[in-house]
Amino acid sequence: MIKIGVRGSKLALAYADIVVNRIKTNFKPIVDIQIVPIKTDGDIYAKKNIAEIGGKGVFVTKIEQELLAGNIDLAVHSFKDLPKDLDDRTEIGAVMPRHDPRDAMLGKIFSGCKIGTSSPRRKLQLQKLYPDCEILPIRGNIDTRIEKLRQGDYDAIFLAVAGLETLGLEHEITDYMPLHTLVPAVGQGVIAVQSLKDQNTVLLEQINHLETYQCAMAERYMLQEIDGDCDTAVGSITSLIGDVISLEAYNYENNTSVKLQMKSKEYRKLGELAGREIKWTKMIIFMKI
């Protein structure tokens, strides 16, 4: 029996089902699997601003604790919710194939409209895209946010395409935002599987999607290099063609960006170098002041 811990939200459970199906398809012998819903701080305090309840790891920490306690064997997370640092006794053992990483617009944009987003990254980008609109915070799961839009609390909201399509809500989308118009979050569209180190390694190797892993981990190493987190206003676009991986990183907190390429096996070096580039520029600006 393999126990998989995950948030109890509709979307998180759907992500867990994706992992379960990949295990059943790619791993032999077939094993019994139990999904274990776990309430995180982000779920318990759903009406509070994420920064108020700790920011880093609000959707991850409690699940990680269950993994360390041996109550579950694997933990499933949305990659973009991962804090910069996980417990050293654990690792991201596998990822699922990347879903569409773009953001989507729901509702309509017009002069003076109210736009809802809970993401610092989206907020800074949207302020530049729509300078005459009001950017307001919004919390809650996807269904809750859509309901707030329908009730008129907001004229438009922005959500990840991956979540909407996973829940069959693509009909709610007004427009798909081009990658370079609204640059996605680190790891957006990726499902991560966390495990204790050196446990379930054969299973994880079988289900891991290597191309997605190299791209997502390059983005993660970039974020770690700038000492950023899931709530840092940083975006990235990563692609792999043949054995060459390309990473574009955008730091909206200091208006810097970088685009680099390396061999795919050097994904960690690529991410760390990209992080140093956008972090170093920030240091130069500070020194000039």
| Dist. CA 23–CA 93, nearest whole Å | 13
Of the listed 73, 81, 100, 103, which one is catalytic? 81
Nearest to 93 by CA among 163, 23, 34: 23
What kind and span of H or E run contains 201?
helix 201-207
What lies within 8 Å, CB to CB, of 258 at 6+ separation is 248, 249, 274, 277, 278
Report CA torsion sign: 286, 120, 78, 242. negative
User: 34 is written with which tokens?
Assistant: 């139990």
**Side chain identity at residue 160, one-letter code:** A
Judge whether 8 and 32 are in contact, CB under 8 Å.
no
User: 214 is written with which tokens?
Assistant: 């190299």
| 81 assigned to active site | yes
Catalytic residue annotation? 81
